[in-house]
């Protein structure tokens, strides 16, 4: 057991920080962003050694979006009454724009992975990466429906990581799938509280 931990300590640390990140995300705590930055830094190495190249590239995106999300949650539209960025529903325009962007990223990643890497699962890797890019942008904007995107991403990712033998990461993603449902329920509850609060604020 000790030998296994010594051999896989980077993945174990990444999984632990990932769990902390998920907890902070569900609780809408702004510290999720610096923790996410640290987690992504670990997973750049983990995914490179496992040949999940699209997922590795995704971690660089996460590094950047962590800085953007941190800034947006601090300054991007707080409600004075709660001192928090409010949870919102996705708009039709966002659905259309995000769908087109996701499809374009997915197709582009498949081409790159099939032609320029030795990825063993190019379609699955491209699929989860494209949706993860979309979901993380939605998280930075606090869009409630991002939890449904994460449920899809985490379920497919779990199957891929089991296939590749990334067992600490697989355990992490079992928790991610489960807690994505919890996150949706809690964020929806927060959204409804906001809606109930708004009429009172106008009186």
Question: pLDDT higher for 25 or 85?
Answer: 25
> Tens of pLDDT along 153-194?
999 999 988 888 888 778 888 988 999 999 999 999 999 988
Given pLDDT bands bounded at 50, 70 and 90, which one contains residue 13? Answer: confident
Of residues 4 and 94, more confidently modeled = 94
Confidence (pTM): 0.82
14 band by pLDDT with thresholds 50, 70 and 90:
confident
Average model confidence (pLDDT) across the chain: 86
Q: Quick one: 175 exposed, middle or buried, by C-beta within 10 A (0-12, 13-18, 19+)?
A: middle
Q: Give tens-digit pLDDT for 69-105.
A: 999 898 876 555 455 788 999 999 999 999 999 999 9
In this predicted model, what pLDDT tens digit does every residue of 40-73 receive, in sequence order? 988 888 888 887 787 788 889 989 999 999 998 9
Tell me which residue of 29, 32, 50, 51 sits closest to 40, measured CA to CA: 32
pLDDT score of 6:
61
Q: Which residues, 6 or more positions from 201, have their beta carbon under 8 angstroms from its beta carbon?
A: 81
Q: What pLDDT does 197 receive?
A: 62
Crossing angle for the helix pair 53-75 and 92-116, to the nearest 10 degrees: 150
Residue in 70, 62, 182 with CA at minimum distance from that of residue 129: 62
- pLDDT of res. 130: 93
Measured CA to CA, the distance from residue 91 to residue 30 in angstroms comes to 24
Give me the pLDDT at residue 177, please.
Answer: 93
Phi, psi (degrees; rounded to nearest 5) at 125: -65, -45
Confidence (pLDDT) at 167: 82
Predicted local distance difference test score (pLDDT) of residue 202: 39
First CA to last CA distance, the chain:
62
169 close to 161: Cβ distance less than 8 angstroms:
yes
- Between residues 151 and 193, which one has the greater pLDDT? 151
Give me the pLDDT at residue 78, please. Answer: 57
pLDDT at 148: 97
Positive or negative: CA dihedral 122, 127, 128, 134: positive
């Amino acid at each position: 057991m000790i030998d296994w931990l010594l051999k896989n300590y980077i993945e174990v640390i990444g999984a632990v920080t990932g769990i902390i990140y998920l907890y902070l995300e569900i609780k809408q705590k702004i510290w999720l962003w610096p923790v996410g930055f640290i987690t992504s830094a670990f997973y750049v190495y983990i995914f490179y050694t496992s040949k999940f190249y699209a997922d590795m590239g995704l971690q660089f995106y996460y590094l950047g979006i962590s800085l953007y999300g941190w800034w947006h949650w601090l300054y991007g539209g707080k409600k004075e009454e709660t001192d928090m960025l409010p949870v919102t529903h996705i708009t039709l325009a966002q659905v259309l724009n995000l769908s087109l962007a996701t499809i374009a990223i997915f197709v582009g990643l498949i081409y790159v992975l099939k032609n320029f890497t030795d990825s063993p699962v190019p379609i699955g890797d491209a699929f989860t990466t494209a949706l993860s890019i979309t979901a993380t942008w939605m998280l930075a904007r606090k869009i409630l429906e991002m939890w449904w995107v994460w449920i899809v991403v985490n379920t497919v990712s779990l199957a891929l990581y089991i296939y590749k033998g990334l067992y600490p990461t697989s355990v992490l993603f079992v928790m991610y799938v489960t807690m994505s449902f919890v996150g949706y329920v809690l964020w929806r509850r927060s959204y409804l509280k906001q809606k109930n609060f708004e009429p009172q604020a106008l009186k």
